[in-house]
Structure 1
Amino acid sequence: MNTIVADGFSRRATLALYLREAKYEFLRVLRSPAFSVPTLVFAPMFYLLFGVLLNHGNVQAASYLMATYSVFGVMGPGLFGFGVGLAMDRERGLLTLKRVQPVPALAPLLAKVGMAMIFAACIGVMLVALGMTLGGVNMQASQVALLLCVDILGVVPFCALGLLIGTLASGNAAPAVVNLIYMPLALLSGLWLPLRMMPEVIQTIAPVWPSWHLSQLALKIIGQDSGRPAGMHVAVLLGFSAICLFLAQRRLQRH
């Protein structure tokens, strides 16, 4: 009986540590407007310009860009939250400090993932609201729910990529490295313009990028994807995440 009570208390204490770490991570991000404001605003702002104003009356374009800009938006919290945040924490010695504290090893990383998912959910909700009110997009409740799930869960591969970047780049170099990866990935995956409007070579290599696979899952919900099976896209994203996490873990073990 005492063992059961002790185990229950231990689980509650561990859960409290995870929740406390997530709370502090979220508060830290909110107190950094240089990160939180652009992350939340860029994708909806670009959608207003390209999806609503420049394609006024074109519901198909508004639907396509709503889905792809949601993917563009959710890439940011994962890449910048991990890529820049982890690089700075590592350089300042915060990771070393966390290791000697009575905190589960995964707590800081899971807190960052939770933060990225919250930002992804906010971005997805804003884009769906803009699309359905100003863009003329017509979606059923089930489609909205599925798109938000893709956005929230789709941030994980980019958290993994950001984690890898954060283990490789210095704190000063990380923002530039992330931008050098973030913007080309968005362009080459057809997140800003449909791939059919781009050179054939870009269309051919698009399946190489994880952002293309995530965008295909989002576009499948509104019936504008390339027609490839969803399982293939999910498998590629899971494999990509696993590779990035494996390489990042090896790098972290050396520090």
Structure 2
Amino acid sequence: MHAATTLRAPLRAHLAEARCELLRMAREPAFCLPVLGFPAMFYLLFAVVLNRGNPGAAGYLLASYGAFGVIGAAMFGFGVTIAVDRDRGYLRLRRTLPTPPGSLLLARMTMAMLFAAAISLLLAALAATAGGVRLAPAQWAGLALVNMAGVLPFAAIGLWIGTLVGGNAAPALLNVLYLPMAFLSGLWLPLSMLPGWLAKLAPAWPAYHLGQLALKVVGHDDGGRTWAHVAVLALATVAFFALARRRLHAGG
């Protein structure tokens, strides 16, 4: 009985933290609308309006814009909020509160994964109706799983950036990284349309590896090994979370 009570108390705390975080972000239309709207808008423009009925291109862009949207939700959801919380002294205040270790990060990870799921569902609906994309049920589910798991490395990168700069500088710095990385990773258009030397540099970006995992689900990847993409993303997750943790513990 005592053990069950001991387990339930932290669980209730984690759930309450997650609920508060979700309410906080839901009440921020400046975050929700771009995060959900930009991938859908780009998909409608490039995969539907300009595509002119090519289901293969629409399938490629379904995977690549899904990865693009998830990366933005993860990086901005962590980077900006952590930077703002540092500026306000909220993180120092939390050290004095009897909350379970890591509850804030778990809550924000839950928030980012739910946004990833929402982006996946929205793009899937557009692809199946307006884009003419036809996939097996396992492929639709696979895209959603890749997108939700893909939150981890980019949440780590966003968290690290949020420990480096203040709340005013974080959005600008994140955009400077996010937009070029997405373009150079083949998420906006196929790498074959870029100059050869730029395409060869694409594997240096974590976004390339998430994009390739998503493209592999729909059969449009470059043929790389799944384990190699997963390994790069796992390494990025561990490395950037470690860097962020050191900064946070140092009071950075």
TM-score by length of 2: 0.98
Provide the C-alpha distance between the structure 2 equivalents of 1:119 and 1:23, rounded to a whole number of angstroms.
14
C-alpha distance after superposition, 1:50-108 (max 9, x if no partner): 11110021111111011000000001111111110000001101111111111012000
Structure 1 SS opposite 2:95: helix
1:165 matches 2:161: yes
- The residue type equivalent to 1:177 in the other structure is L
Q: Indicate the percent of aligned positions where both proteins have the same amino acid.
A: 51
- Tell me if the contact between 1:128 and 1:144 (Cα under 8 Å) persists in the aligned partners: yes
Q: Equivalences for 1:44-193 in 2 at 5 Å?
A: 44-193=40-189
- For 1:6-21, what aligned pairs fall within 5 Å after superposition? 6-21=2-17
Cα distance in 1 between the residues matched to 2:218 and 2:32: 29
**In structure 2, how many angstroms separate the alpha carbons of the residues matched to 1:177 and 1:8?**
45
CA distance in 2, matches of 1:237, 1:254: 26
Aligned counterpart for 2:222 among listed residues 213, 219, 226? 226
Distance 1:84 1:73 in 2: 16
Q: Report Cα offsets for 1:169-203 as digits up to 9, x if no partner.
A: 11110000010011011100011110000001111
Aligned counterpart, 1:202: 198
Residues 212-247 of structure 1, C-alpha deviations (whole Å, 9 max, x = no match): 000000000111101111011000000011110111
The number of aligned residues is 251
Runs of 4+ aligned structure 1 residues displaced above 3 Å come to none
Question: What residue is the counterpart of 1:27 in the other structure?
Answer: 23
Q: Structure 2: which 5+ runs fail to align?
A: none
Stretches of structure 1 that go unaligned for 5 or more consecutive residues are none
Report matched runs for 1:239-254 at 5 Å. 239-254=235-250
CA–CA distance in structure 1, aligned partners of residues 124 and 25 of structure 2? 24
Distance 2:81 2:170 in 1: 9
Kept in 2, the 8 Å contact 1:56–1:135? The answer is no
Amino acid at match of 2:192: R
Q: 1:99 touches 1:105 (CA, 8 Å); kept in 2?
A: no
> Please, which of 212, 222, 234 is the counterpart of residue 238 of structure 1?
234
Tell me which moved more, 50-59 or 16-25: 50-59
CA RMSD in angstroms comes to: 0.6
1:228 & 1:193 partners in 2: Cα distance?
Answer: 18
Shift in Å at residue 10 of structure 1? 1.1
* Helix, strand or coil at the partner of 2:235: helix
Mapped partners of 2:95, 2:127: distance in 1: 45
